[in-house]
Chain A
Amino acid sequence: MARYAMVIDTRRCIGCQSCTVACKVHNELPVDMIYNPVTTVGPTGVFPNLHMVHIPLLCMHCENTPCVDACPTGASLRREDGIVWIDEKKCVGCKACVMACPYGARIFNQEKGIVQKCDFCLDRVEKGNIPRCVQSCHQKARIFGDLDDPNSEVAKLKNSHHTVRLLDELGSKPSVFYIYGLEARMK
């Protein structure tokens, strides 16, 4: 069984938001809905001594899922391969998961009356393709693959670099790992 994960190399990310648009187009989201925003921190400091780092976000596909635990209908699910997804047919739009997710990854779709979010492009991954945001990134800042496969790029990167998980202290154990460069010292 695969264990899907994403490594995000912030040394490479330029904040172009191509991933954001690619995801919106792929998932045919309304203009005001985004699964994977890119947050730019900076420039921090005082001219001309500045820093800037871009943090691409998405659902963290946590191992311990506060969202799934909060869902009263069983619409929120976590697969064995680590992908957290929503069975849209079962979602009643109560937004309990929206409140529970510490990463703001879940969004209520006004038009459809349900909650939606990134599902690691389940439809593509099941056919052996990489997620849309990963393919669209010119800079190869998002890397996707199977952590259990020691030859996969994600596994290699994760094992050879110091990586960080967001809000790790909550114990949610995300499957998304960040590499920070020296230039990416955060305030």
Chain B
Amino acid sequence: MKRNFDFEQEGIQVKKSCCYFCHQNCGVLAYVKDDKVLAIEGDPDFPTNTGGLCCRGNIALLHLDHPDRINYPLKRIGKRGEGKWQRISWDQALDEIAAKLAQIREEYGAEAVATAGGTQRTDDWARRRFMNLFGSPNGFHNSHLCWIPTFMIETAVCGWSPFEIDLANSRCIVLWGQNPGASNMPEMHHLSELKQKNGLKIITIDPRFTETAAKSDLWLPLRPGSDLALALAWLHVIIYEGLYDPVFVENYCEGFGELANHVEQFTPEWAEPLTWLSADLIRESARMYAMNKPGNIQWGVAMDQQGRASGAAIHARILIRAITGNLDVPGSDLLTGPSLEFITDEEMEANEYLSEEQKAKQIGADKFKLLTWPGYSKIAEMSKKYWGKAPTAEWMCEAHPPSVFRAILTGDPYPVKALLVSATNPVNSYGESKLVLEALRAVDFMVTCEYWMTPTAALSDYVLPIAGALERPTITSSYGCSDFLLASQRAIKPMYERRNDYNFWRDLGIRLGQEDMWPWETVEDAYLHKLEPLGYGSDSYDEFVEYWRFHFPERQYQKYLDKGGFGTPSGKIELYSSVLKDLGYSPLPEYVGPVENEIDHPELAKEYPLVLSTGNGFMPFHHSEHFQIPDVRFLNSEPYFQINPETAEEYGIKEGDWVWIETQRGRMKQKADVTQAVAPRVIITQRGWWFPERKMEEPDLAGCLESNTNVLTSTRDEDCCPLSGTWANRGLLCKIYKVDSTEQKEDN
């Protein structure tokens, strides 16, 4: 929005678009003339952001035509990573890529082609459709780190994940490893509003004193990675102090006796040394949640990012909701099920076209069964039986990313020869960056769909220009799993030769014999097809956006009354989970310590005495994005980690010092933010960092390892969650030491 902008000038059109810089997809009004966006502002009528935009949203116009954006298809002509490119046409790029993929399929099988994705800001059902029709089961995202393990474990136990929180009627919310004050602005607004109006109680569980913790009634600064111990102790308090809901448990839950016996040992006193929280605080917080009903436990990424202990922690958390009866009643966490009113993403994926033989080859499916075909098939079947539809397979059923990167390097279990990368920069966003970088250097053939020349794009054989915010239509529907949807339109046609990734997958598919399967020429056509059963009668997708913009079904509470139970094999909430048991996992959440900890690994703790947490979100960046834009970068221009003054003093570290942080996997450096916000002995790093202002050249690739926190994380099979395969970002052990002023740049 520029000064003195004339909203009423002739020829101005107001397009109902959305922000595309994080999953919230805040509503944006774009003022367009002659296919140029002249100004933007938050859409006051959009239900989530009600006119607000965060700092990222405000710079959409600087992002749209930034001089570093990729605008034309590029083909590598120099050595890999040398930065020599030739501009080619889309047709040439697609022809050559299709020919190469066909050749790889011929020689090594379709499974030798994998795809890597990032967050849910792409046309991902189309990616899955392409992969299914191509015949490869090896698509993956960072889904393991973000909600997907939660969704699948909760669905295994309850028949659907109760992710819809009915906050307006709630009395208490637990923000467990979530900081909406930096990651979910609309939610934070809602919380403050309800706190002021209804006296909503807010409990924040977070090792950091965050923007959100500062506004909470209770803050539990637990040891990073000890969420499982805390959740088990909450179960103990709620059961043994009689705070559970006996009627709900009696009528709708199975296995309460087993659970009660199981958690008897997990007293608050037991959890005290593991969580670094006093037994009193554990009791007080459990009581606050259990006695202020109805209440919610909001999902946060923290539990999805702990590696080995993730699955059990998520499992324990859903049991807390279940035994307090905080499920599907007004004010609690609601199980909406998939939408029966519009065509879901899963129905667009063509999963039935992937043969059983190919499904069986999915990398990681033998080790981590829940987020791969063995677990997904079981859950999809269960869900279809009860709800009539299955959850999205893209995200919920994926190859195990670290195992794919290892397969590229070792050929085990079989060779992976091509990687199609879309909307991700794996060097910075996947675990164990050094290994990922080696894999990207080693893979035979790599194509990247991008906005920018990222370190990953720089190593590719082809880089394709992708349409971004304001240039693409968007349907927002919680990974295709919500029963509502929000629809936004393109403000303008993509600039230069940028295209939607939808068109990449479609056009590639058509060249590989899938022409009958792609009837929709544009994303808008495909979206209109999805919306048609809603019966709004719109002739085009744009018309739907202009007249309706969203679809919210009428809320139905306690669906289990009408449906005669929940969507599990027994029809009850399975506190003792038969689904997990059938897959070979413990039916109850078993305690296991953080991946690296001072109690189980005293020798390791001698060398690496500090506790590390990585991966939390912070303004103004999103994952590894936005470092190019000075108008937001100035808010946080260099990488910082948090350290308590007591620990800083012990190590002779002062505010702003560059410090090496090292784990068993390697080291990286960030600057010290000396703050009381974290406990002594705790180190919390910023994620995502690379330096687009530097040269994009081998071996440094714009400093992609130098301050990259994922150099520190662990993706060894033993450190991953046995159910989901998620890897360890939090609760690791590290050591720190000041960067010697004579030291040159990172010696990777």
CB within 8 Å of B: which residues of A?
Answer: 11-12, 14-18, 20-22, 24-28, 31-32, 42-48, 50-53, 123, 127, 132, 135-140, 183
The answer, yes or no, to whether B49 is at the interface (CB within 8 Å) is yes
Contacts of B189 in A (CB 8 A): 12, 138-140
Task: Pick the residue among A26, A50, A183 that contacts B215 (CB under 8 A).
Answer: A183
A132 to B55, CA, bound (A): 12
Instruction: Decide: A11 near B192, CB < 8 A? Known: A17-B619, A42-B214.
Output: yes
A96 to B383, CA, bound (A): 71
Query: A48 and B3: CB pair below 8 A?
Result: no
A51 to B5, CA, bound (A): 41
Contacts of A11 in B (CB 8 A): 192, 196, 215
Contacts of A16 in B (CB 8 A): 54-55, 181-182, 185, 211, 619
Nearest neighbor of B62 in chain A, beta-carbon distance: A25
Query: B41 and A25: CB pair below 8 A?
Result: no
Task: State which of B94-102, B534-542, B672-680 sits at the interface with chain A.
Answer: B672-680
Nearest neighbor of B632 in chain A, beta-carbon distance: A21
Nearest neighbor of A133 in chain B, beta-carbon distance: B58
Could you show 17 A-B contacts with beta carbons less than 8 Å apart? A11-B196, A16-B185, A18-B57, A21-B59, A21-B635, A22-B53, A25-B59, A26-B1, A47-B209, A47-B221, A47-B679, A50-B209, A51-B214, A123-B4, A135-B41, A139-B185, A140-B189
Contacts of A47 in B (CB 8 A): 209, 221, 644, 676-680
Nearest neighbor of A23 in chain B, beta-carbon distance: B58
Q: How far is the CB of B167 from chain A (nearest CB, A)?
A: 16
Count of interface residues, chain B, beta-carbon cutoff 8 Å: 50
When A and B form their complex, which 4 residue pairs have the shortest distance between CB atoms, in order from nearest?
A138-B52, A138-B185, A21-B55, A52-B214
Instruction: Decide: A18 near B55, CB < 8 A? Known: A47-B644, A138-B186.
Output: yes
A128 to B590, CA, bound (A): 61
A22 to B52, CA, bound (A): 10
Query: A137 and B211: CB pair below 8 A?
Result: no
Q: How far is the CB of B60 from chain A (nearest CB, A)?
A: 9
Nearest neighbor of A121 in chain B, beta-carbon distance: B3
A8 to B173, CA, bound (A): 26
Proximity string of chain B (669-687) to chain A, C-beta cutoff 8 Å, 1 when within and 0 when not: 0000001111110000000
Q: How far is the CB of A35 from chain B (nearest CB, A)?
A: 12
Given contacts A16-B619, A22-B53, 10 further A-B contacts (CB under 8 A): A15-B181, A28-B2, A28-B3, A31-B634, A47-B209, A47-B679, A50-B676, A136-B41, A136-B52, A138-B185
CB within 8 Å of A: which residues of B?
Answer: 1-5, 7, 41-42, 44, 49, 51-55, 57-59, 61-62, 181-182, 185-186, 188-189, 192-193, 196, 209, 211-212, 214-215, 219, 221, 619-620, 630-632, 634-635, 644, 675-680
A17 to B636, CA, bound (A): 11
Q: How far is the CB of A65 from chain B (nearest CB, A)?
A: 22
Contacts of B54 in A (CB 8 A): 16, 18, 138
Query: A123 and B3: CB pair below 8 A?
Result: yes
Contacts of B57 in A (CB 8 A): 18, 136
Contacts of A138 in B (CB 8 A): 49, 52-54, 185-186, 188-189
Query: A43 and B677: CB pair below 8 A?
Result: yes
Query: B211 and A14: CB pair below 8 A?
Result: yes
Q: How far is the CB of A15 from chain B (nearest CB, A)?
A: 6
Q: How far is the CB of B351 from chain A (nearest CB, A)?
A: 37
Contacts of B186 in A (CB 8 A): 138
> Most A CB atoms within 10 A — which of B2, B41, B44, B192?
B192
Task: Pick the residue among A22, A31, A48, A140 that contacts B209 (CB under 8 A).
Answer: A48
Task: Pick the residue among A43, A135, A183 that contacts B52 (CB under 8 A).
Answer: A135
Query: A25 and B58: CB pair below 8 A?
Result: yes
Contacts of B55 in A (CB 8 A): 16-18, 20-22
Query: A12 and B3: CB pair below 8 A?
Result: no
Nearest neighbor of B185 in chain A, beta-carbon distance: A138
A27 to B2, CA, bound (A): 6
A47 to B682, CA, bound (A): 12
Nearest neighbor of B215 in chain A, beta-carbon distance: A183
Nearest neighbor of B276 in chain A, beta-carbon distance: A48
Q: How far is the CB of B27 from chain A (nearest CB, A)?
A: 12
Query: B192 and A24: CB pair below 8 A?
Result: no
> Most B CB atoms within 10 A — which of A11, A15, A24, A136?
A136
Contacts of B51 in A (CB 8 A): 135-136
Q: How far is the CB of B428 from chain A (nearest CB, A)?
A: 23
A47 to B620, CA, bound (A): 26
Q: How far is the CB of A86 from chain B (nearest CB, A)?
A: 13
A123 to B3, CA, bound (A): 7
Task: Pick the residue among B215, B620, B679 that contacts A21 (CB under 8 A).
Answer: B620
Query: B52 and A139: CB pair below 8 A?
Result: yes
Contacts of B215 in A (CB 8 A): 11, 14, 183
Q: How far is the CB of A140 from chain B (nearest CB, A)?
A: 7
Q: How far is the CB of B326 from chain A (nearest CB, A)?
A: 26
Query: B58 and A18: CB pair below 8 A?
Result: yes
Q: How far is the CB of A34 from chain B (nearest CB, A)?
A: 9
Contacts of A44 in B (CB 8 A): 676
A51 to B61, CA, bound (A): 36
Contacts of A140 in B (CB 8 A): 52, 189, 193
Q: How far is the CB of A57 from chain B (nearest CB, A)?
A: 15
Query: B630 and A31: CB pair below 8 A?
Result: yes
Contacts of A137 in B (CB 8 A): 52
> Most B CB atoms within 10 A — which of A45, A52, A183?
A52
Task: Pick the residue among A42, A132, A183 that contacts B1 (CB under 8 A).
Answer: A132
Contacts of A50 in B (CB 8 A): 209, 214, 676-677
Query: B2 and A15: CB pair below 8 A?
Result: no
A136 to B62, CA, bound (A): 17
Q: How far is the CB of A55 from chain B (nearest CB, A)?
A: 13
Query: A17 and B4: CB pair below 8 A?
Result: no
Query: B675 and A24: CB pair below 8 A?
Result: no
Q: How far is the CB of B314 from chain A (nearest CB, A)?
A: 25
